[in-house]
Amino acid sequence: MPGFELFGDAERKELNDVLENGVLMRYGFDGMRNGHWKAKELEQELQNRFGVNHAQLTSSGTTALNVALAVMGVGAGDEVIMPCFTFVASFESILASGATPVLVEIDDTLTLDPAAVEAAITPKTKVVMPVHMCGSMADLDALQAICDKHDLLLLEDACQAFGGSYKGKMLGAIGDAGTFSFDFVKTITCGEGGALLTNNSDYATWADQYSDHGHDHIGNDRGAETHPILGYNFRISELHAAVGLGQIKRMDEFIGIQRRNHAIIKAALSEIPEVSFRRIPDPEGDSCGFLNFFMPTAEFSNRVLEAFASHGIDAYWNYFNNNWHYIRKWDHFKELKSLFPLSDHIKKGLSNLKDIEFPQSDDLISRNISCLIKLSWTEEEVRERAEKMAKAIKSVL
């Protein structure tokens, strides 16, 4: 991770096809394309590789969530349960739908705590949205059982876990719908892009329409298409889809490299008694885009971060003070700094956001160190890195 580290001839070939025929838009202009439909081809690849009936590409992972919530019928008056550790797009997409995000604790998987989800359900709850953070999965059996018990929908945000699986099923293809991001720093990149996966044929039809101004896409005359529903412009371009099409054909290669590099570093750190690792509900399904481990205390974690810097080790984070991924620094969200008026039910639902505490999550995030696993490292470089990391950690113990 990320796929841009290994751009090559496959991506160039797909891009050149688009540039040579000159059709950069994914819909229409049939006669000019010379048979090239990169978005449709990438959607078919996603369906085949993830074992789902439908895939809809969008302009980003965020708009994939926007579309997913729309086709699930989420809107004003509804609540969506999400984790307090995620990317800001999770709550942005819920707010954009008109619904209220309900943030709850994570557990040692670094994803939704099922007990916290159960406790947060109200008559307004419509969707539970686990976020498979840092390459690994939520406890999907427990979350699905909760959704079944309360007649709720399960929406997987798998934007950071492309290529991972859970008990033989691909992440993003397990819930009622799932989403991916293909931005510049994801395992498979389009530069910018996203996708919605589902086995629900109604969701698929609506997603195709909603992401393109409500067009029905019937026939081959775009000007004659009708608009069965209201929609927005969340389309991907053929150029972006072409990059992703070249990348996804290397999916197994990329995931294999991640897993090799991850295993080498984890083995080295496993020799240190003070280091513990995140719990992974299905270790075989870890996409291994990140290695996440805990130190015994936040103080030790901070000292390790300093040691990493002094030893010249890069690509690591502690999210406790990060303003993108953890609620502690989401001041713009807590203060509802919206350019447009928010509905009364959203303002009421989030009125106590500044005061809510997440002690379990604070403890986990403050002790956690998350290390990116790069695709471009050689095996020798990974082993050298693992040795340096172990040495740096031991230097502060």
Task: Tell which of 232, 250, 268 closes a domain.
Answer: 250
- Both structure tokens of 163: 């290529």
186 labelled catalytic:
yes
- Both structure tokens of 149: 């018990």
Strand partners, 369: 293
Residues 304 and 217 in one domain: no
- Domain membership of residue 293 as a residue range: 252-395
Tokens 């447009």 locate to 340
Residues 22 and 71 in one domain: yes
Residues 358 and 266 in one domain: yes
Task: Tell which of 250, 272, 298 closes a domain.
Answer: 250
Residues 256 and 351 in one domain: yes
The CATH number for 277's domain is 3.90.1150.10
Give the pLDDT confidence score for residue 126 in this predicted structure: 98
pTM (two decimals): 0.97
Spell out the long-range contacts of 145-148 with Cβ–Cβ below 8 A and sequence spacing 24 or more.
146/114, 146/117, 146/118, 146/121
Contacts of 125 (CB under 8 A, 6+ apart): 78, 79, 80, 81, 102, 150, 152
Helix axes 251-269, 238-248, angle to 10 degrees: 60
Residues 69 and 25 in one domain: yes
Number of domains into which the chain is organized: 2
The CATH number for 36's domain is 3.40.640.10
Residues 92 and 169 in one domain: yes
Residues 268 and 220 in one domain: no
Task: Name the catalytic one among 38, 126, 186, 266.
Answer: 186
- Report whether 118 contacts 142 (CB < 8 A): no
Nearest to 106 by CA among 126, 136, 79: 136
pLDDT tens digits along 369-397: 999 999 999 999 999 999 999 999 999 99
Considering only the C-alpha atoms of the chain, give the largest distance between any 2 of them, rounded to a whole number of Å: 70
Residues 218 and 319 in one domain: no
CA 24/CA 380 separation, integer angstroms: 41
- Both structure tokens of 257: 């490299």
Q: What is the DSSP string of 141-177?
A: HHHHHHHHHHT-EEEEE-TT-TT-EETTEETTSSSSE
| pLDDT values of the chain reduced to their tens digit, one per residue, 397 residues | 899 999 999 999 999 999 999 999 999 999 999 999 999 999 999 999 999 999 999 999 999 999 999 999 999 999 999 999 999 999 999 999 999 999 999 999 999 999 999 999 999 999 999 999 999 999 999 999 999 999 999 999 999 999 999 999 999 999 999 999 999 999 999 999 999 999 999 999 999 999 999 999 999 999 999 999 999 999 999 999 999 999 999 999 999 999 999 999 999 999 999 999 999 999 999 999 999 999 999 999 999 999 999 999 999 999 999 999 999 999 999 999 999 999 999 999 999 999 999 999 999 999 999 999 999 999 999 999 999 999 999 999 9
Residues 143 and 270 in one domain: no
